[in-house]
Each structure stands twice: as C-alpha cells, then as structure tokens.
Amino acid sequence: MKGQGPTLDAGGFSLADQVRRVARVVRTIIGAPDYERYVAHVHQCHPGQAVMSREEFAQSRLDARYNQPGNRCC
C-alpha cells in the first residue's frame, strides 16, 4: 500500500501516535526524564530562560536522582 498516508485505528490514532504514547508511558513508569515536556514547560512558564541541551537535561536528572542525600537505599 505504497503512497498511502498513515492508517488510523478506531480511536483515530495512527500507529506512530500509538508508539509515542506507549513510549511516554514506559518512560514514566521507569522514571526516565521527558526532554520534550521539559522544553515545553520552560517555554510556557519561564519565557526568556535558556533551555538546557538534551545532554545537560539528562545529566541534571541523573544528578537529582542519585546525588542528593536521602535518595539512595544504601
């Protein structure tokens, strides 16, 4: 079926939309940071503030998770 656009399921979502939704849920479950959501938040709530790069964001999330007292079990 070459040349056809994305197919939609009964809910009106394309396969790509469904994959993105599942990926977002999995990231939420495992605690992985969501860079796109961070960027949208900064633009909406902190206009004019510089946005961290993806690498800086990932490092800041790791630091917040593992380098703060009380965040470790042992």
Domain ranges of the chain: 34-68
DSSP letters of 20-42? Answer: HHHHHHHHHHHT---HHHHHHHH
Which pLDDT value is given to residue 8? 57
For the chain, residues with pLDDT lower than 50 are 1
Give the pLDDT confidence of 59-70 residue by residue, as tens digits: 888 888 788 776
Kind and range of the H or E run holding 58: helix 54-66
pTM of the model: 0.55
Measured in degrees and rounded to the nearest 5, phi and psi for residue 60 equal -65, -35
